[in-house]
Chains A and B, each alone.
Chain A
Amino acid sequence: DVKVTQSSRYLVKRTGEKVFLECVQDMDHENMFWYRQDPGLGLRLIYFSYDVKMKEKGDIPEGYSVSREKKERFSLILESASTNQTSMYLCASSFPASSTDTQYFGPGTRLTVL
């Protein structure tokens, strides 16, 4: 059974703080993703990674960075948190196949920036 965990379920930070969100998967998946989920906007891709030390920008990378030093761990970093980054953040992982890509999601981190 695939397990994707995220470091916190709820997080409250102040504007300007540096924020780290961590995601760990235990199934040796190559692919890892970070999304933010906002009402009416669905899941928007922030960054993704196909391999260790590799990263690619998604649709909304501004204000975020990522780190993938180990295969099982993908970190999302908010260098200087702002109130418009208040959101639900979801991590996902998948094992690459030639024609399908089932993503397994973590439980989410609800981040509030005051």
Chain B
Amino acid sequence: GENVEQHPSTLSVQEGDSAVIKCTYSDSASNYFPWYKQELGKRPQLIIDIRSNVGEKKDQRIAVTLNKTAKHFSLHITETQPEDSAVYFCAASINTGGFKTIFGAGTRLFVKA
């Protein structure tokens, strides 16, 4: 089955710096890659996603890149702010008539003011 590895498990950056979180997946049939943000005590929420036919997607300070050949995808946050502090989960989904989504273990991001 699908396996998603996420690194690093913890990331600490200074406010204004960039943060990068990397994920790899094992099943080449995965065709949809969402990223979720979970603030402390709250539920995960989708922040950005990318489909397998796209190499890069950007939404303001957040961007995601996908390398299908290497089975890597990454989340880039620029100009980090304290409110970016949260746990971020990458995921890989396979559409088999419905989506089955496998999540990475999560990255706890600390943005120091």
Interfacial residues of chain A within 2-48, with CB under 8 A of chain B in the complex:
30-31, 33, 35, 40-45, 48
Q: B: which residues have CB within 8 A of A?
A: 1, 6, 9, 31-32, 34, 36, 42-46, 49, 51, 89, 93, 95, 97-106
The CA of A94 and the CA of B51, in the complex, are separated in Å by 17
Instruction: Verify if A59 is at the interface (C-beta below 8 Å from B).
Output: yes
For A, the interface residue count at a CB cutoff of 8 angstroms equals 28
Q: A: which residues have CB within 8 A of B?
A: 30-31, 33, 35, 40-45, 48, 50, 56, 58-59, 90, 94, 96, 98-103, 105-108
Q: Are B97 and A43 in contact (CB under 8 A)?
A: no
Residues of B within 8 A of A107 (CB): 42-43
Residues of A within 8 A of B46 (CB): 102-103
> 17 interchain pairs (CB within 8 A)?
A30-B98, A42-B104, A42-B105, A42-B106, A43-B89, A43-B106, A45-B100, A50-B97, A56-B100, A96-B99, A100-B32, A101-B32, A102-B49, A103-B36, A103-B101, A105-B43, A107-B43
Residues of B within 8 A of A42 (CB): 6, 89, 103-106
Q: Which residue of B lies closest to A49 (CB)?
A: B98
Q: Are A94 and B1 in contact (CB under 8 A)?
A: no
Tell me the dominant secondary structure on chain B's binding face. Answer: strand
A42-B89, A43-B89, A48-B98 known; 5 new pairs, CB 8 Å cut-off, are A30-B98, A31-B98, A94-B99, A99-B32, A103-B34
Q: Are A101 and B102 in contact (CB under 8 A)?
A: no
Q: Which residue of B lies closest to A58 (CB)?
A: B100
The CA of A105 and the CA of B6, in the complex, are separated in Å by 21
Q: Are B34 and A102 in contact (CB under 8 A)?
A: yes
